[in-house]
Amino acid sequence: MDLISINGSEIKSVEYKEQRVVTFKMVDELHQRVSGTARKAFNRNKDKFILEKDYFFVKPEDVGASFKGTSEINNSGTYLLTERGYLKLVKPFGDELSWQVQDMLVDCYFKLKEVAKDFSNNEMILRMLAQSNEVIKQNNENQKALTQLIKNLDKKLSTLETKENVKSLKKGRKTKKEKILKLKSQILKKYNSIIEFCKACGFNQSTFYRHLSNMGKKTSSQIRFEELIEEKLK
């Protein structure tokens, strides 16, 4: 339990429903008043105090885990004053000691709980931020890995496409060569020589071989050449 020094006296903190409270006994001791002074002052002005805001009235069976402190809860019930209730109670206390004790209780007792709570909240926020940064860092690393994977896949795909293009080109060349050989074979079956066939078509050998190398192209002259050969081989 926390020990707090107030005007040279050490008191143990008492908490109820997550806020610090004081008992009549604590008030009397800190303000150096005759025992029972705080209770009498409260009873005289009880109509000015609001239950659950200025004070709690609790019995042993009511507190449970919501009560923290060494103060005993009487079987008949005990009054617990909040900061607001305490300030109302000691309002008539106008001596110099009372002013000092009020300031110290507010700053070092009641407010300290709020400071600790704020610190705890800030600590939790910092932990959440740290976790968020870790998640962002992990996501960035995953993104880098994914980007590298995509680059590797693109490279492999490009290599495969190049190989397929080479295969296709080789296949096309092989097909074209086969067509040329087949055409020459057809010509020589009907004509004694290529020269004889060229004369029958009306062009020289260089023109024939040039068009032969361009087999498959869709130019107008190439199309006429292939139509002429087809007609002469009928």
Element (H, E) at 195: helix 194-201
pLDDT at 170: 57
Coil, strand or helix: which one is 53? coil
pLDDT at 48 over 50: yes
How confident is the prediction for the chain on average, in pLDDT? 78
pLDDT at 119: 47
The pTM of the full predicted model, rounded to 2 decimals, is 0.46
Name, of 44-53, 109-118, 175-184, 211-220, the range with top average pLDDT. 44-53
Q: Let me know the angle formed at the C-alpha of 135 by 132 and 140, rounded to the nearest 5 degrees.
A: 125
Coil, strand or helix: which one is 60? helix
Q: How confident is the model at residue 44 (pLDDT cuts 50, 70, 90)?
A: very high
DSSP per-residue letters across 70-130: SPPPPTT-EEEE-HHHHHHHTTT--SHHHHHHHHHHIIIIIHHHHHHHHHHHHHHHHHHHH
Does residue 14 contact residue 45 with C-beta atoms inside 8 Å? Answer: no
DSSP per-residue letters across 130-198: HHHHHHHHHHHHHHHHHHHHHHHHHHHHHHHHHHHHHHHHHHHHHHHHHHHHHHHHHHHHHSS-HHHHH
pLDDT at 178: 78
pLDDT at 141: 76
Other C-beta atoms lying within 10 Å of the C-beta of residue 135: 10
Beta strands at 67-68 and 78-81: parallel, antiparallel or unpaired: unpaired
